[in-house]
Structure 1
């Protein structure tokens, strides 16, 4: 029997995707006075946080709850006396709660524990079976309930309590390793050590908050006394019982999410080879610091505990892991800024929304992330009690007894020292730590600032003579120059586009693809918020350091002997400075990525193998900055894709445990847009020099193509500025604030790369459908090289038109082309089902097949049944919805026509996030209704009112949108007419941008609150939540179900938009086939599928699309682009410009007169779809 029922990785489900949000709090007596009253009040506090926890299909099995207290010596002494265990005085013994399986392994595991204890020179005092009452816990929790044992260990001849605490840490780590080596049990699965300490003790389990005090009988004994109580109530996105994942952890209770966890773990593992300290007789005994299988909270706790046991104070370690935003903080004290800057050379922040309460038994406190994205409020009473929790009102306190109250500020620390008997302010504690070493002097003496270095007189690289040939070889297209780079050069802003990405996936494309195109950005939704990179810019940072890291467990001037760079995108002068570096401990070496193009895969693989060997050798030679360069491509040499080279070196050095000894710089001709830069940084690059992009910028300016008159310096500056903004937005989508944390965090999913490529070059990256290998990647490099050098001998060389963003004849395949558009419009307007069948046949057998994952699926053959036995059209159309296209993004005429059509069909139209005119709530004289059944509530709350909410059949909370997940909707000012402004309660002519997060949804329990509020606003309406497909979306959907939503919508990456950055349209989100399948599988695994309705949308155009969606788990189906085409849309992709020539996506009165769409055409389209579904 195991102590958790967390399924193994299966199908599209991966336990690594599990998320949790929570309620946290503590109560302590400031003077350290111990009493049973604090236990009682701690449990009361926990009970009042019950709504921040959750339960799943079993209403009596919670997601986890617990309480951490100081060791109640008097109580334990009494209990041990009954067992004839003689406890020494307080502080001279350690104890902890251990979960064992309820079978014969328990005795064997206890024996291993005892052997380790004795081997480490401590005294084994005995075991106690912890008394519990399991009659009131849920069936699911009871099925995996562990055997609860309490261990007692004597200090032996160790006199110092801190030394003893450290030795207990070694025993716990060694016992875990020994148990794992025995093969009898796995951590979290069949055993778990809640804590082992001479200061604190933890009671926790797979319980609901009110069950904790009743389950653990110890907690009701008046002898059980403590001076502090730290509590936690967990809300997990799954319903799988896992006793070991409950909190508090050994030192923390965490409400939030660590978004950079993959990178943090990789970097910590890489640093282990350099650990040195006299505090452990052998530091190898406590590595790995972070064992596999834990949650992000557990991993954070392990890292924090290691830093503390290695000699740093608890607040010092906390400040290293969750630093204040310091780089852009102009008024911060110099000493404090120097403290943070110095420690940035030691390790990266653990970034993400977090309220972390912490204690070691002597002190207790809390820290809030730099954005303040988790609530933390405190009260100090006149009788010396301190209470902190996720919200106010957790304990009844007489107002007359309150000495002070407030909330924890972003990045600030609340700290109580029970030994000193006082609250130590954030300013005081940080000032003390900042003064313990001369960090300011160390930085001044040792850190090298790139800005201050002179530009070398003799530049090493001449301008590129064969620019066009190089551009072709590196895959540049006319679209790249015109649609992506020109707006960046001219405005300093990202390029904006509209409609969805209906081009073929890279793995399905017939055209050679850049390796970058096989990856999709991940993003935050529900369990943690995306960050508003514009409004939160003050707390965001692009600063990076390059060079060799030192021993994390020590501090010296040499620790900051690194190169400081303001921004990872290097200018030509910056790059020349770096190449010329040859200082003590800061030396650079360049490695070529070129290979003989004729050798194909073998040549590319050979270069990669040699590259890995060469960088290892360079490290032994003392080089600390390695430059990977693809410069020099010629007629006989091509380059390894820069991303492949970065991934190869990064993971090779991680495996060799030498990654932290060097910084990586990439000199590349490939990278020219935000996604390219984000990928290179995300897989380990510290800085990038896009030399060909700069040459291209100069060419565009010089030849005055695509941009107005602009000088070269301003053009380069704009290009860098727009890239900086774009990178901020990309990392903000994931709730990350610093590029240092983003580096190596690998926050992407691969779509179409096989396991050998992933495991070797992009280890740990989700890639769930396999795909191409090194051979195909090499062939794509060769194809681009042939276009540049061989085709150029026959015809005049010219850039490929592209076709990624717009359909071009003979170029990239799109799901809709002019012929298809005309066919669909003619069929729906003339009610010609046979013509529609021709349209759908071409769509299914050519365009969709060649562009999408579902195009690869085939139906199994079964015996057909008579058509009259199949569900009628009228029943099927009730499952159809139109997408959330707001009035404003499309015209009033188009919006109302869609509503009329869907109401005639019995389906549902969706307002989108722009509100709805109340006159539409009254039916027309002919009986038609222009009222949308689905009313959307988005982050901007545009048009949302009580009247709006009460006139809905369904209220949809928009968390994300397929074309731009992690970002808010945007409506350009020229589309905000007086009518639109009136509906949206805004000002005419002023552009509207919804913030990326809902400012009342920072976690899953906040979503639950909004769902509750919406149910109360309209008890007759169901509530649904709109998500976008990504790795882990099934886990989020399970959390949505537990939050009591009736529906969840999974949108594909190819959904449409009225306006969005081009990089988001192209590179964010995943195909709905993956997201929907994962959602179905996870909901079934959690026994939640029967509680929620699942909808899917994203380029649905035929009956086959609907049936495929149904087979993968959908109950309802959303359509946006196809109904617009039926209304007259010709996919000009000018929606954001207000120049739609058919009157659909415009607010221009003259252009709106050209609208000639009819409800009948939309009705015909959906009836055709339904009839195809019946036939299939």
Structure 2
């Protein structure tokens, strides 16, 4: 079975996510009973619908339960003497071979003893494999428990953590497949590759009447695009998780960047015993658990959860000022772990639950009069008579719930957060020490460049008249990123005969399956454009010096604002990204300069290609330079001491800014684009004041980034920075591994040498004039578009005349005349064909055909009705799209013509959705993310609709081409 982070063919386990059933049942008066265990298992069984189920109906995605250590039960079921309660810990672990009696036992014992622990003995956990599928039983590891006596209980969590880490490193070296489900003196986790109703039957311990606990946390796993395994089941060691962390790659990178400092802060001289905080081969849930567990060694878990998954505070004025101050203060120290998330955590003394800022994962709870609490992702998981209900509630977006067994009650969100926020003088620190550099009122300063210099740079960075007139001008005039049409018909960058910018090799991912995108306009309260410059302080040693950083209201700046930052207290270094030799050597050189600059306490590194103003040479692809420095500083353990600013002539589009932020830039200064805006005003191609137009352009780029990242369900720029929410298409594995480490890619391609060649060729002007450009629309002398006058002419005439030969000519024109689309490079494997009698007849196959969801308002009622009638005739299904249908179409006429769409779509707040409409549906399709399609008020990341129709020679009047630029997504809906 493949582990997380591994690839085979087109499968990449980093695409795995899960959306699950989650819940806990506990007695807040610390009464231990077997009934709590039984009801928790019943809760889990009732969450079975939340778990994934295999085609055999027996195999699940994973299930588990966390309980207290059942002290009295274990005392009766081990063949060695146990100390009294609280004086020993239990480790539950999976291995591919039995540890007791093996060559590994002595080493395991030694690592415990080095940390002052005494191994009391090992126990084989009794299981009944008849309860699970045969193929699952074959993969079942040895399930064992180790009991260790605690000689000092003052820092027991840290001691157990160190012992476990060293045993895990030993296991890696020995190629021993080891996984600790838990190692604690308070809790124990039973879990596995199971369905919800199988865990009780598999684990015999859970059925014993002496197995008592005051709490039970359960989880039923539903993973999407994933392979289940024994260790991926929840609960994890501290938490269980329902949802995804969209920014997981960035969170892991930043955690790795700050881990040396954090490990030394907690462990001091023992720091070398801990090599990493998070296991990067784990699922996103396991990684969250790793981080929360580590932070909980230095603080209470509820405080750690608040740091990692903060509620929205920037635009939420309802919060208590101390709580707002707490969140703002820690935004200087840690980026949010962002995504649709609901977690529940437990250390034995406390159980907590927290929803993310969007509240896209439900959590409801009931408190009974006899002080029990039921919490779950749905109601009805434990039967509670209404007469026994004391309170019912739900966990709202960003809210925190805590069950404190010492206080015997639930501590409500506001009270709990107020307690935590009052532990340190956050509000006082902010009022006294926050650096208030008023960048918002610093105006753009018109340049003193002559037109010859500006034109020379525009030609070198391949600006075109088309971009100026139909992107930059449109963006400023309409104050939003122009929206592009579907229909990507130019070759992708790696196959394009035109020399492409490196930005075009990266495609923004977008939210899928259980992970809805955010409406960045209507849900602005959850978003944040904040970014920070300067070295980051120590997360575990909060004090006023943390606030030395400069808080940016948005990540796109002007040169004048950058100058103000350079004149502030921060120490800034410029690193030129101009080169003349080979690119790889030049990258190594700027890497050395960056390392030395950070060691010399430079708090901001400005990667600067303005040297081209004064001298000749080539500008490195800014995306490559930024990602290289970002990854290099992480590897060197220096990234948190500085920040990166991209001062770039190449950058001019929202996609470019998104890429730079996504690969580690803290801020971007698109200086040449801003000077081009100035030029457009001077030439009266834009009206108004130069400074105001440049500010509009700069602000709109930032707003465009918010919209792009919202399509991936990401709320904050801080989370997006370094999150690498992109897929590379056409870059070699060597380039990805060295310069864009961790980026997903399915199609390999060009090497660093080829990037160098293409970059130099691109920056060598072909003409003394600014090129016209042909990215957005076809031009006779421009780059190839699949839909051109010839192909459109052939298609139109084939359809009008019902001429099959013309259609074949069209097919040849589009499919066989060129070799610069991915489909042109694919061939069918030569195999012996199967007998045609074994193939399902076409009349059966077409019954599974569906049409796209297009409302009659978008294609005309006639076309909409014809599609429905045609699909009904062949037994397929047409889709109504949003907006309803004429009720007359629900009636089958005398000739038997059925004109009703079989699939009825429902969208939020849309007209035409009546009970009659729904009653005539064979299938109801609910549209979750309104406005996600191009042309409907929103867009897929990386796609644009341009508000014009190109006149195409040879086409029917009124018919034209609308083609997106080449950096747009190759995905389609």
For the aligned pair, the TM-score class normalised by the smaller chain equals over 0.9
What is aligned with 2:606? 627
Give the unaligned 5+ runs of structure 1.
961-965, 973-992, 994-1058, 1068-1124, 1136-1176
CA–CA distance in structure 2, aligned partners of residues 95 and 872 of structure 1: 61
**Contact 2:646–2:668 under 8 Å retained in 1:** yes
After superposition, give the CA deviation of every residue in 1:589-634 in whole Å (9 maximum; x if it has no partner): 10111112xx4xx1x2232111000000001111010000111325
CA–CA distance in structure 2, aligned partners of residues 1134 and 297 of structure 1: 40
**1:24 CA displacement:** 0.8
What is aligned with 1:917? 886
What does 1:384-395 correspond to in 2, within 5 Å? 384-395=371-382
- Of residues 35-44 and 551-560 in structure 1, the stretch that sits farther from structure 2 once superposed is 551-560
CA–CA distance in structure 2, aligned partners of residues 563 and 531 of structure 1: 28
User: Is 1:753 equivalent to 2:747 in the alignment?
Assistant: no
User: Is 1:698 equivalent to 2:527 in the alignment?
Assistant: no
CA–CA distance in structure 2, aligned partners of residues 658 and 326 of structure 1: 29
Q: Secondary structure at the match of 2:817?
A: helix
CA–CA distance in structure 2, aligned partners of residues 254 and 1062 of structure 1: 27
After superposition, give the CA deviation of every residue in 1:31-53 in whole Å (9 maximum; x if it has no partner): 22222221122112212211111
Which residue, out of 298, 309, 316, partners 1:322?
309
User: Is 1:135 equivalent to 2:113 in the alignment?
Assistant: no
Q: Secondary structure at the match of 2:253?
A: helix
Q: Quick one: structure 1 residues 138 and 468, their matched pair in 2 at CA, closer, same or farther if it must change by over 3 Å? A: same
User: Is 1:165 equivalent to 2:157 in the alignment?
Assistant: yes
Which residue, out of 940, 959, 962, partners 1:1130?
959
What is aligned with 1:775? 753
After superposition, give the CA deviation of every residue in 1:806-864 in whole Å (9 maximum; x if it has no partner): 222221211111111111221222232222222211111225x32x2011123456799
Q: Quick one: structure 1 residues 379 and 1127, their matched pair in 2 at CA, closer, same or farther if it must change by over 3 Å? A: farther
**1:317 CA displacement:** 0.7
What is aligned with 1:722? 700
CA–CA distance in structure 1, aligned partners of residues 382 and 831 of structure 2: 63
**Contact 2:242–2:341 under 8 Å retained in 1:** yes
What is aligned with 2:643? 663
Q: Quick one: structure 1 residues 1061 and 27, their matched pair in 2 at CA, closer, same or farther if it must change by over 3 Å? A: closer
Give the unaligned 5+ runs of structure 2.
947-953, 965-973
What does 1:476-487 correspond to in 2, within 5 Å? 476-487=463-474
Q: Secondary structure at the match of 1:196?
A: strand
What is aligned with 1:292? 280
CA–CA distance in structure 2, aligned partners of residues 198 and 594 of structure 1: 58
Q: Quick one: structure 1 residues 703 and 902, their matched pair in 2 at CA, closer, same or farther if it must change by over 3 Å? A: farther
Q: Quick one: structure 1 residues 877 and 217, their matched pair in 2 at CA, closer, same or farther if it must change by over 3 Å? A: closer
Q: Secondary structure at the match of 1:59?
A: coil
- Of residues 746-755 and 40-49 in structure 1, the stretch that sits farther from structure 2 once superposed is 40-49
Which residue, out of 838, 852, 869, partners 2:809?
838
What is aligned with 2:45? 47
What is aligned with 2:794? 823
What is aligned with 1:1121? none
What does 1:548-697 correspond to in 2, within 5 Å? 548-581=535-568, 583=569, 586-596=570-580, 599=581, 602=582, 604-633=583-612, 636-697=616-677
CA–CA distance in structure 1, aligned partners of residues 443 and 510 of structure 2: 41
What is aligned with 1:222? 209
CA–CA distance in structure 2, aligned partners of residues 484 and 92 of structure 1: 69
CA–CA distance in structure 1, aligned partners of residues 731 and 885 of structure 2: 44
**Contact 1:493–1:721 under 8 Å retained in 2:** no
**1:711 CA displacement:** 2.6
What is aligned with 1:354? 341
Which residue, out of 205, 213, 221, partners 2:200?
213
What does 1:833-872 correspond to in 2, within 5 Å? 833-847=804-818, 849-850=819-820, 852-859=821-828
* Count of residues in Structure 1 that have an aligned counterpart in Structure 2: 955
Q: Quick one: structure 1 residues 878 and 839, their matched pair in 2 at CA, closer, same or farther if it must change by over 3 Å? A: farther
**1:499 CA displacement:** 4.1
Which residue, out of 345, 352, 374, partners 2:361?
374
After superposition, give the CA deviation of every residue in 1:168-215 in whole Å (9 maximum; x if it has no partner): 1111111111111122x2xxxx32111111111111111111222222
**Contact 1:449–1:565 under 8 Å retained in 2:** no
Q: CA RMSD in A?
A: 3.1
- Of residues 226-235 and 879-888 in structure 1, the stretch that sits farther from structure 2 once superposed is 879-888
Q: Quick one: structure 1 residues 946 and 223, their matched pair in 2 at CA, closer, same or farther if it must change by over 3 Å? A: same
TM-score, normalised with respect to structure 2: 0.92
**1:232 CA displacement:** 0.8
**1:953 CA displacement:** 5.4
User: Is 1:308 equivalent to 2:187 in the alignment?
Assistant: no
Q: Secondary structure at the match of 1:341?
A: helix
- Of residues 866-875 and 409-418 in structure 1, the stretch that sits farther from structure 2 once superposed is 866-875
Which residue, out of 802, 809, 813, partners 2:784?
813
User: Is 1:500 equivalent to 2:329 in the alignment?
Assistant: no
Q: Quick one: structure 1 residues 805 and 551, their matched pair in 2 at CA, closer, same or farther if it must change by over 3 Å? A: same
CA–CA distance in structure 2, aligned partners of residues 159 and 891 of structure 1: 75
CA–CA distance in structure 2, aligned partners of residues 885 and 299 of structure 1: 41
CA–CA distance in structure 2, aligned partners of residues 222 and 783 of structure 1: 77
Q: Quick one: structure 1 residues 528 and 108, their matched pair in 2 at CA, closer, same or farther if it must change by over 3 Å? A: farther
CA–CA distance in structure 2, aligned partners of residues 126 and 871 of structure 1: 61
**1:872 CA displacement:** 8.7
Q: Quick one: structure 1 residues 872 and 407, their matched pair in 2 at CA, closer, same or farther if it must change by over 3 Å? A: closer
Which residue, out of 509, 533, 538, partners 2:496?
509
**1:92 CA displacement:** 0.8
**Contact 1:495–1:1061 under 8 Å retained in 2:** no
What is aligned with 2:711? 733
CA–CA distance in structure 2, aligned partners of residues 125 and 806 of structure 1: 75
Q: Secondary structure at the match of 2:557?
A: coil
Which residue, out of 707, 714, 721, partners 1:743?
721
Q: Secondary structure at the match of 1:912?
A: coil
CA–CA distance in structure 2, aligned partners of residues 609 and 704 of structure 1: 44
Q: Quick one: structure 1 residues 754 and 455, their matched pair in 2 at CA, closer, same or farther if it must change by over 3 Å? A: same
